[in-house]
Amino acid sequence: MRKFSKILSATLILVIAIMLSSCTVTKKATIIPAAVSSISNPVSLEFLNLTKDSYQIINTETVESVIVYEEKGLGSSKTIKISEKNDEYALEFKKNSTTGEYDIKYSGIVKIGYLSDDDRTVPIDKPFPALFARGLAAYRLINSVQDQGADGIIEPIVTMKVGQEGKKIIFTTTISAKLIKIKSK
């Protein structure tokens, strides 16, 4: 009887351990949750023939995003992690040896914005940290345009710096633009 209770206890502990190990904060992705914003089809001030009296510069806005890129492991067990500096989101990419595609685990919601000249054909299910950094900065700029009641932006300036902290590669993108409001007559 004692032997049976020991086997039952060991089995129960094993089942609980398996159940707990399957409960994680990150989820395996079939679709990566993303919030996407864009500024499309812009018309230049020259084309509109606007005079200085036709619009008002509300503000010069500067936004920044910082994306951290890390590689762990070697060969087929290599994992690539891309995360926002303040843990807004994180993606872990591991190449599937059978399909050749990436198996992706994620936490949070990926935030991507596109300005008019950005390439929207690059998927977010590949480990391109520079794209994530630019996309997040554009997303933040577009939200700022909306929050301040502007009609659009002019003269956007996009810069990216790449640095390294130990084994982590840091992608910092800054976008500055003038927010404008078109005056109604």
Residue ranges per structural domain of the chain? 28-182
The pair of three-digit structure tokens given for residue 63, joined into one six-digit string: 């936004």
For residue 83, the cross-strand partners are 68, 90
Ordered per-residue pLDDT tens for the chain, 185 residues: 454 444 434 443 433 444 433 433 444 545 666 667 666 655 555 666 767 788 889 999 999 999 999 998 877 778 999 999 999 999 999 988 788 788 899 999 999 888 877 777 667 788 889 999 999 999 999 999 999 999 888 888 999 999 999 999 999 999 999 998 888 76
- What per-residue string of b and e applies to 16-34 under the rule 16 or more CB within 10 Å gives b? eeeeeeeeeeeeebeeeee
Q: Is the pTM of this model over 0.95?
A: no
The identity of residue 147, as a single letter, is D
Nearest alpha-carbon partner for 78 in 26, 127, 21: 127
The identity of residue 58, as a single letter, is I
DSSP assignment, residue 77? G
Q: How far is CA 144 from CA 27, 33, 166, 172, in A?
A: 30, 22, 33, 18
| Domain 28-182: assigned CATH number | 3.30.110.70
DSSP assignment, residue 147? H
Q: Regarding beta strands 102-108 and 168-182, do their DSSP bridges make them parallel or antiparallel, or are they unpaired?
A: unpaired
The pair of three-digit structure tokens given for residue 28, joined into one six-digit string: 């395996």
